[in-house]
Structure 1
Amino acid sequence: MIDLRSDTVTKLTDRMRQKMFEAEVGDDVYRDDPTMRKLEELAAEMLGKEEALFVTSGTQGNQIAVLVHCSLGQEIILEEGSHILRYEGGATSAFAGIQPFPIKGERGSMSALDIEAAIRGSDIHEAETGLICLENTHNRAGGTVTSPERMKEIYAVAERHHLPIHLDGARLMNAAVALKRPMTDFTQYVTTVQICLSKGLGAPVGSIIAGSSEFITKARKWRKRLGGGLRQSGILAAPGIIALTEMMDRLEEDHEHASWLAEQVNTTPLLRVVGEVETNILMMDVSETGLTSKQFVDLLKENGILANAFAPTIVRLVTHYDVSKEAIEQTANVLKQITSEKLVK
């Protein structure tokens, strides 16, 4: 099967497996794991923050950030299609006791003007804004990139109102590669950041959160409260180090594959790409086929391709390390075959 459901399905490389086997380990709750310390120091440097902390997932990292930054009854401003709002099980309300204030963005990117208009706190009838959350790249918008320049505008608003900003940067590496800029160009405009090691970078598990030393001290306690304290975690840190040092540059190949496939989709009858493909995520509208996205995904599966039904008539395709150019070409051929059959009928 050609698996285009998500870049989370990537399998770790042979080099990662070998480094896991060789990893020097220790009890990380006691902070005795040298391989984990090495990963966290590397990540902090790459993200331009004082310290970093390994967490078991991007969701855990985002929720820890909300828990550290916010107080009970506060509100967080975030884009209406953001992962924190849509795909984290209502955890911000369940754990932190806060409510979301969603804003409609332009292809996933909120404007500084809209954010400033949403900030609340002086009226006793309103929830007080405690945090601004950004997502880059934006998953639901189709892997879109928010530029550092746009982030700088939002940062200026946050500074005026003395508010922290947390960046859900699960795919921040894709944004950096797409714009050919270091991650620090983006992270300089946020208080804290989360990046995933287990998506396009191919590590088997884990994310990193980074910020000030004070933030990481508090985050470490929240990680423990959430059951995220790990023991001999060097076996997870070792592939994370490979992910950050050897797997970032190759993300450009995933972007090229997604862009090429988008061109093929747009020249295929009854199909069209929604928006512009900026990184490794492609949203495909199948409405003209007369099929729902679920029906279309079922047809793809019958032809050896796995994809996700993302909206009633939108199918999401995600390129990654385990999908070759040949597999992308095969996918394009299958799409043309399915639509030609629909035309004949």
Structure 2
Amino acid sequence: MSQQIVNRSSGPIDPMVRSRPLPKHSLLIGFGVVAIALLAFVSSSAPVFYGHMIVMTLIYAALATSWNIIGGFAGQLSLGHAAFFGLGAYTSSILFVDFGISPWIGLLIALLGGATLGLLIGIPTFRLRGPYFALATLALGIILLNVAVHFRELTGGHVGISLPPTEGWGTMTFLNRWQYVVIAGGYLLVCLLISGIILSNRFGYQLAAVREDEEAARALGVNATRVKLLAGTLSGGLAAGIGTIYAQYILFLTPDSVLGTAVSIEIIVLAIVGGSGKLYGPLLGAVLLIPAGQLVLREFGGALPGLHTLVYGVIVIIVILLFPRGIWGMLTDTAALINRRRKHS
């Protein structure tokens, strides 16, 4: 029985990640630094639209990667992950606008706030069986959305909150986009490193066991509540952190733009299309979908509002029907099949 669970818990983990011990994450760091440098160079000379596309892709890739820790690795569906994203965005923005606190300090406070919120929402729900966590996160997103709408003195309500365009590294505000590429890309790299470390050690196997069969995992001695709480805390904190970077990039927040249900759905879509539970799945989903959505918005946004959402829906249906494990899962399955054929030939 125990051997069966070990096999089931290790099976869903990406073999490309499992084969790399912790010291070899230096390869990810090296590749990530080179990729960020190239993207920064491209964005510095590219037209404004394409520079914006690069920054938004990196931001949403980091956001989807943060969701993947709780939604993919642990199998706990978060339907309101925009709550953490919006919390981070509003926290740092209010501290900056009202109190003059640097966004870098606001980023740290947002990380702590998102992690705390993830822990608090998980304490009562992870002790229960069933879809209680999903419902709780959905309710949390709706609650925070309404708080942002009605507390106008603090958040500006539907009018929104504008951030001062004070250029400089100290204020995390720039005229060119290559600096945002460096910041958002660096944060994405941190999210990927944390996710890779999780998958490379015992914690990752415990999460996979809980995801596949929580009852059996508990029977083997896995503290399912503890590992889910830790995953929820990490996921919430990382999502809040990228919210700060988004706020300093856009310089204008409304409740719907960071706390809306559509944001939560988009996060989930990116992870599922790319490959939920895979290290690079959410990144791949963002690389494919965010540019597509931005292009549709540019070409048809005024004449056909909401068309990019329809495009997302069509892509999700096609991927679910053809590649149930996501595009990254399809790529790894194909690579494994080719390797097997080479060995037998």
TM category, shorter = under 0.3
Q: Greater strand percent: which structure?
A: 1
RCO higher in 1 or 2 (8 Å CA, sep ≥ 6)? 2
Give TM-score scaled by structure 1 length: 0.25
